[in-house]
């Protein structure tokens, strides 16, 4: 699939990884719909950047923790573009949840936002993606393979994303390719100390932290890779091998 003129929907497209992916798709000539929840100002800023690139674009608000909103966001994108060639399931949340502190509400929030929403967005988009012989890219996490402390619900949700990716690749074949990106140490938390950031860099073979653009480049590759499906691509500087 060549991106020029194709239509994309990027969930969580206003900030961080989603923003970088949306801009990369716009530079490649795609029409880009970005979904956002509570980041209206950031979404408008991304739209301004996309317009400066000459990319047709639209922002769609919605709380993907609610199934009806998942479906409405997709329906709005379909109404805007008249179809869909690429879905990037990026929207997600995270945060520490030490054992003993996890509430049912927090568990549900993490699983609903990070996993359930991906399925219902993909399910609603599937007919249009089948018609276009399009693609889905889900955002997972290398922490699924090397879990860190105090993030059980988050890591369970991202483990589900890996299984979801492989299962959807089977169920939507041969028309739709479904892959995932598993970021490693990129976009570290702002409140981390210099020592924590240096430790993250040392945890990779490349001895450095990655950037949002590294993930965006991988997304652009998977959008174009017509003979790749069911793959979870680590973009981690060799973290899993270190």
| CB distance 183 to 210 below 8 Å | yes
Architecture in CATH of 7-241:
3-Layer(aba) Sandwich (3.40)
Residue 125: C-alpha distances to residues 16, 60, 108 (Å): 23, 15, 23
Mean pLDDT lowest for which of 3-7, 9-13, 25-29, 83-87?
Answer: 3-7
Please, which residues have CB within 8 angstroms of residue 167's CB and are 6 or more apart in sequence? none
Rg (the chain; Cα; Å)? 17
Residue 148: C-alpha distances to residues 32, 110, 153, 213 (Å): 34, 16, 12, 24
Please, which residues have CB within 8 angstroms of residue 146's CB and are 6 or more apart in sequence? 239, 240
DSSP state of 241: G
Cα–Cα dist 236/206, whole Å: 9
Average pLDDT of the chain is 97
Please, which residues have CB within 8 angstroms of residue 41's CB and are 6 or more apart in sequence? none
Residue 237: C-alpha distances to residues 12, 19, 211, 242 (Å): 24, 21, 10, 9
Partnered with residue 46 across adjacent β-strands are: none
Q: What is the share, in percent, of the chain residues with pLDDT greater than 70?
A: 100
Start-to-end Cα distance in the chain: 34
Domain ranges in the chain?
7-241
Cα–Cα dist 216/150, whole Å: 28
Residue 220: pLDDT band (50, 70, 90) is very high
Catalytic residues: 154
Whether pLDDT at 191 is above 90? no
Q: Which residue has the tokens 């890779």?
A: 225
Whether pLDDT at 1 is above 80? no
Q: Dump pLDDT digits (tens) for 9-60.
A: 999 999 999 999 999 999 999 999 999 999 999 999 999 999 999 999 999 9
Whether pLDDT at 3 is above 90? no
| CB distance 92 to 113 below 8 Å | yes
pLDDT at residue 181, as a whole number? 98
At residue 113's C-alpha, the angle toward residues 107 and 50, to 5°, is: 150
pLDDT at residue 195, as a whole number? 95
């Amino acid at each position: 699939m060549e991106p020029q003129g194709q239509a994309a929907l990027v969930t969580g497209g206003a900030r961080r990884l989603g923003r970088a992916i949306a801009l990369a798709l716009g530079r490649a000539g795609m029409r880009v719909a970005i979904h956002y929840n509570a980041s209206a100002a950031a979404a408008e800023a991304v739209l301004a950047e996309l317009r400066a690139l000459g990319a047709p674009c639209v922002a769609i608000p919605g709380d993907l923790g609610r199934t009806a909103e998942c479906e409405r966001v997709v329906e709005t994108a379909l109404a805007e573009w008249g179809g869909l060639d690429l879905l990037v399931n990026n929207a997600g949340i995270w945060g520490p949840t030490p054992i003993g502190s996890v509430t049912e509400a927090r568990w549900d929030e993490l699983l609903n936002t990070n996993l359930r929403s991906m399925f219902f967005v993909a399910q609603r988009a599937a007919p249009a993606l089948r018609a276009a012989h399009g693609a889905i890219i889900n955002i997972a996490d290398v922490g699924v393979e090397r879990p860190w402390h105090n993030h059980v619900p988050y890591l369970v949700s991202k483990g589900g994303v890996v299984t979801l990716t492989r299962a959807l690749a089977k169920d939507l074949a041969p028309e739709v390719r479904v892959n995932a990106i598993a970021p490693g140490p990129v976009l570290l938390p702002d409140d981390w100390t210099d020592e924590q950031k240096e430790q993250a860099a040392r945890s990779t073979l490349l001895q450095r932290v990655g950037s949002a653009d590294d993930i965006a480049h991988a997304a652009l590759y998977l959008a174009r890779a017509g003979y790749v499906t069911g793959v979870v691509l680590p973009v981690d500087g060799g973290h899993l091998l270190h």
